[in-house]
Amino acid sequence: MKNDEKDRLLRNAMEEHGDYLKRLIYTYVKDVQKAEDILQDTFVKFYTRFEQFEKRSSVKTYLYRIAVNEAQNYLRSWSFRKVEFADRLRTFKQGSSAEDQYIKSEGNRTLGELVKELPVKYREVIWLYYYDELTVNEISEILACSPNTVKTRLSRGRKLARISIEEGDYEY
């Protein structure tokens, strides 16, 4: 493929999916600057590995797969675990105890807050399904797992955030 054509496809992909991908990455890393970095890495990889997605999947699922992999890699990285540890230590020093967390959990929290605290495997399917409006099959392709696994995680994720969802306040 010619470079001009690749540039055009990249620009279209950035216009069409950039905002959503940045928000999705943020839900993993919870840091705006890091989300920016990972999003740029995602598009650079998308460009440099362009030939790999052709005929195998849509541009959208291919892009999301790169972004999710990049974000997950960061979460597994040594540097992230350092940051996470520093945060834990700070919380520990500030005395945010299990009791504080319990009181907070009993408070009137929003759906977003509840989802934010879910384990990654439930959180990611909820974001991909409800926010990015991807189908179960697309999510299974992105996460490299079976559609049944996606359905199970969606169901479990919904249960864990049931306080709001089951009240029927939300359209889904």
Partner 1 sequence: MSIKHELEKSLPKSLHFTSAEKEAVFERIHKRKKRRFQVFPALAGVLVLIMVAVLIVPELTSNRTAQDMTIEKLVVPDTPYPSLINAIYVDETSELIFPEETGLYSYSESTGKEQLVSLPGTAYNFAATEKWLIWSDPAEGGAVLNVMNRSNQQVTTVEGRYFADLSIKENTLVYQSGGEGFYVMDLNNQEVELLHETIGGSHSKSALKGNQIVIPEENDGVTKIFIYDIQTMERVNEIELPFEIVEYVQWSGEFIYSQGRNEDELPVLLQAQSQTGEVQEIQTPEFDEFAADGNRIALSVAASESDTVMLYELDELKVRPLNTLDHIEERLTRPRFTEEGTLVLNSEGPDFAMYILEP
| Residues at the contact surface with partner 1, assessed by CB under 8 A | 7, 10-11, 14, 18-19, 21-23, 26-27, 32, 35-36, 39-40, 43-44, 47-52, 72, 76, 78-79, 81-82, 85-86, 88-89, 92, 97-98, 110-113, 115-116, 119, 121, 126-127, 130-131, 133, 144-145, 164-165, 169-172
**Residue closest to 64 by CA, chosen among 13, 101, 114:** 13
Minimum gap (Å) between residue 58 Cβ and partner 1? 19
Minimum gap (Å) between residue 5 Cβ and partner 1? 14
Minimum gap (Å) between residue 96 Cβ and partner 1? 10
Minimum gap (Å) between residue 108 Cβ and partner 1? 13
Q: Which two tokens stand for residue 134?
A: 């991807």
Q: Which two tokens stand for residue 49?
A: 């590995």
Query: φ, ψ for residue 68 (rounded to 5)?
Result: -65, -45
- Closer residue to partner 1 (CB): 136 or 145: 145
**Residue closest to 60 by CA, chosen among 147, 133, 161, 158:** 133
